[in-house]
Structure 1
């Protein structure tokens, strides 16, 4: 957290009291979730030196417990907004704010990391010789700490630092499997493309700072609209370049090319982690820089994001359609292309915010959709992890006849796929898509709503094809899949959340149209 520190003479805010203090005050409860996650990461790294190989599983359960405790620390923060690391006596100008938006995204991040950790416990038991467990858990927890920090960041410096803390361990996790050339190639592609995008964003942040003289998002918003003359061109360039890095993290087209190879080359729990937590990082950062920092440039980023949304959902769904047409392809690769298509839907409300009178309300639809997507997509990856234990290639064809050997697992995967498709009984998927569709229509983006409707129909084909395959007669004697306890817990958790949200969709949909800041 040293990157958040400020000079001792800077005034501090611990509450709404605007009195200036000579000593920087830190609200430890506000920063508790990412701090505890980082502390557990360091504990695991040190403990790995002393725990014998036969008991390395304890490191995994310690990590799971740490992520669960970090998520529970969000509960005391529900009583109201809390801000810390403030440069002035004004609580609106702080580097870290635990408001409603922050808490919802942190819940998504920590719950997603927790489910990825449960998948990892089983995976590491099966691949102990090819994956170093201590390093694996340290990297996963470090990335989760950065991801939990990012939605609370309220200045561009902290935002970029959090983005890199979330990203750098992820590069190593993708290529951590020893002796796997495909994993190493995926990690290299992920690393090079991400570093390039980050460098572009840093250049954009430097331009924004040069024209406004501040890094705090609210102050940037107040000052950048008054920039004129030659500095205005510099400011416009800075806005565009800053958005590039976050567009990369969201896997928006044309910054999506790293996704299929990275997901296939990474350990499967890490692919699941990137598909949910990685997207949460990108979208929360994108929301903060557009809606909070650059609202006066909505006329520029609104149309740009609308075009990106249309391209992303179309390219993602066409790519997934090609995977389904050739069932020899990996199921994980199909899920990777599907996640690109889903990113397009998530971009729609953010683009609509550029046209809305109250943009903070429009992005509630993105948050609602992200919560639905996280639960059901992690569930689909959990089933893929189960099938991958007996089918190393994890092809789409390997799911044929799954109902004959694992009826409950097949039914759960069918439910998750129908949620992603937006069909009953996946009611929450249907309602989430309607919410996003409504955001586009309300913003006057009728053409984007039409593109989304067409893409939903295209996606129905490959989701239903995969679902139907589960119930066909198996070829030969299909293997029976034994479900270990951690994997059972992950499947049960995602199923309960998905079914509960389909039964009571207002638990998530209440974020749509609600102000989160």
Structure 2
């Protein structure tokens, strides 16, 4: 029997644009050898990728690399949303990198090329239709970050953070690939929809095989590393604190979003909820609780944001954990849980980017995030930057007027209640109260009696901070739009 594979180049356009950006950055850096031209090409490529992804997504769902009913590339509304957000995050991080690049602490060409490569992985990740494409895209997103973390010249902390990140990430990837290999041995397929059909037809009989249960557990555990879920979180605080601030921002936003998308894809379409649900519910409780409790004790700004990011990952995982219960396996509850997880991740990365942008604006170009005491009175010296920082913190805490963060937490709680997981909704609510302590403490520090004199914020950083804050505010007033796209 002959098989004909279809190829739709329109569906692949966003990936072409992202990969083309990486190639153009290399050529411009080689031929022009001008930092401004290299950064401009990277920024235009990221903007073009976001626009292309939005246009292709608006044209409707598309499939390619199909053999029969099985497709390796599925361009849906959710894939378009992920690609647009990843591209905009890359553009924002380039803006945050202005002071670092002007200080000549990192090579401009390599820096922009690695960011463009990571963006390519993120764009492909949202459309992955099989486990191989998913893992390769996730590693394409992650691998450049190993180098970016340690790229700063003369930074021992950066080198140590890069090695830590690399070693732990390689172990996690190995676990994921082992789980994928075992899934193939059990089911004979790696396409996500085919895996879901196999588990749906075979039901509990297939899960009676120890190999199948081990395979599912390994895939979930490997992907949990990417979102820094407890107990796979230990790399995050040290890596964020040792990396250059813009790279830490990218790790906390684009890399985290990529992990969420990968985990959501296998949980929603491939793996049985009866196995993944209890595991994800336990991970969600541990992650949000440990993240919030340890964040209370932090005195360094980036470490506080890192532990906050760990806690936020728990909120993202919570709706997926609700699928363990009978009510969570209904079609409406599943759709609500998946949409809530994606929507929360989108709102979180915008607020997190705004928070990191404010830290970059308030710290010296070559410095790290410093301590909380270093930011004392910063909002008095720089009212607009300090106000945006406080708004981002309030949004992460889930308080008004940070409508984006408030809506995100309400959406998660509503999805948990719809999935008959009231106990998990209570845990989310209690952890949100704990999180108020360190978010509001940092916000209050910004308006306290001034301490050390802060550096003058760079113009590109202020623009990125303003755009990220504005997007979070605007989307906070139109939350249903994000939910509708995330549900597709």
TM class by smaller structure: over 0.9
Q: Matched residues in 1 for 2:165 and 2:439: separation?
A: 27
Q: Distance in 1 between matches of 2:342 and 2:276?
A: 19
Question: Does structure 1 residue 85 correspond to structure 2 residue 65?
Answer: yes
List gaps (5 residues or longer) in structure 2.
none
Alpha-carbon offset, residue 59 of structure 1:
0.7
- The one of 1, 21, 26 equivalent to 1:40 is 21
Structure 2 residue 298 is matched with structure 1 residue 348 = no
Tell me which residue corresponds to 1:109. 86
Deviation string, structure 1 residues 465-510 (Cα, Å, up to 9, x no partner): 11111111113x623x433232122012112112212333333344
Residue 251 (structure 2) pairs with residue 251 (structure 1): no
Corresponding position of 1:515 = 487
The equivalent of 2:111 in structure 1 is 136
Corresponding residue for residue 363 of structure 1: 338
Cα offset for 1:246? 0.9
Matched, 1:12 2:1: no
What is the aligned counterpart of 1:413 among 364, 371, 389? 389
Give me the whole-angstrom Cα distance separating, in 2, the residues matched to 1:443 and 1:167.
33
Instruction: Kindly provide the CA deviation profile for residues 57-86 of structure 1, in whole angstroms up to 9, marking residues without a partner as x.
Output: 221111011000000002322121100011
Contact 2:176 2:222 in 1 (8 A): yes
Q: Please, which moves more after superposition, 497-506 or 96-105?
A: 497-506
Q: After superposition, give the CA deviation of every residue in 1:242-278 in whole Å (9 maximum; x if it has no partner).
A: 1122100011000000000100111111111111111
**Which of 136, 154, 159 matches 2:134?**
159
**Aligned-CA RMSD value:** 1.9
SS at match of 2:296: helix
| Alignment pair present for 1:493 and 2:467 | yes
Greater CA drift, 42-51 or 256-265: 42-51
Which digits, 9 at most, give the CA deviation of each residue in 1:283-328, with x for residues without a partner?
111111111011xx211110110110010001111111111xxxxx
Conserved in 2, the CA contact under 8 Å of 1:386 and 1:487? yes
| 8 Å contact from structure 1 (residues 419, 425) kept in 2 | yes
The answer on whether the counterparts of 1:224 and 1:235 sit within 8 Å (CA) in structure 2 is no
Instruction: Measure how far apart 1:50 and its partner are.
Output: 2.6
Single out whichever of 492-501 and 218-227 deviates more from structure 2.
218-227
C-alpha contact (below 8 Å) 2:97/2:246 kept by paired residues = yes
SS for the counterpart of 1:339 is: helix
CA deviations 1:368-420 (Å, max 9, x no partner) are 11121111110010011112226835211111111221011111111111000
Contact 1:59 1:137 in 2 (8 A): yes
Kindly indicate whether residue 242 of structure 2 is the aligned counterpart of residue 242 of structure 1. no
| Alignment partners' CA distance in 2, 1:39 and 1:111 | 16
> Whole-Å Cα distance in 2 between the matches of residues 391 and 64 of structure 1?
22
Q: Which residue of 2 aligns with 1:64?
A: 43
> CA, structure 1 residues 243+195, in 2 after alignment: closer, same or farther (shift >3 Å)?
same
DSSP-derived class of the 1:70 partner: helix
Pick the structure with more helix per residue: 2
**Structure 2 contact 100–365 (Cα < 8 Å) conserved:** no
> Aligned pair in 2 of structure 1 residues 298, 488: CA closer, same or farther (>3 Å)?
same
Query: CA 1:28 to 1:122, structure 2 compared with 1: closer, same or farther past 3 Å?
Result: farther
CA distance in 1 between counterparts of 2:60 and 2:367 reads 48
Who is 1:20 aligned against? none
Equivalent of residue 504 in structure 1, options 478, 484, 488: 478
Contact 2:134/2:262 (<8 A) preserved: yes
Maintained 8 Å contact 1:36/1:70: yes
- Structure-2 residue corresponding to 1:320: 295
Which residues of 2 match residues 213-292 of structure 1 at below 5 A? 213-225=188-200, 226=202, 228=205, 232-292=209-269
Which deviates more from structure 2 when the two are superposed, residues 97-106 or residues 336-345?
97-106
Is the CA contact (8 Å cut-off) linking 1:316 and 1:341 kept in structure 2?
Answer: yes
1:434 to 2:410 alignment: yes
Report if aligned partners of 2:340, 2:483 keep a CA contact under 8 Å in 1. Answer: yes
Distance 1:206 1:83, change over 3 A: same
| Cα gap change, 1:391 to 1:35, in 2 (>3 Å) | closer
Aligned residue number for residue 10 of structure 2: 29
Q: TM-score normalised to the size of structure 2?
A: 0.94
Instruction: Detail structure 1 runs of 4+ shifted over 4 Å in the superposition.
Output: 227-231
Tell me the SS of whatever aligns to 2:297. Answer: helix
Could you say which residue in structure 1 is the equivalent of 2:176? 201
Moved more, 304-313 or 40-49: 40-49
Q: How many residues align?
A: 479
- How far off is 1:229 after superposition? 7.1
Is the contact between residue 51 and residue 84 of structure 2 (CA under 8 Å) also seen in structure 1? Answer: no
Going from structure 1 to structure 2, the CA distance change for 1:224 and 1:202 (only over 3 Å counts) comes to same
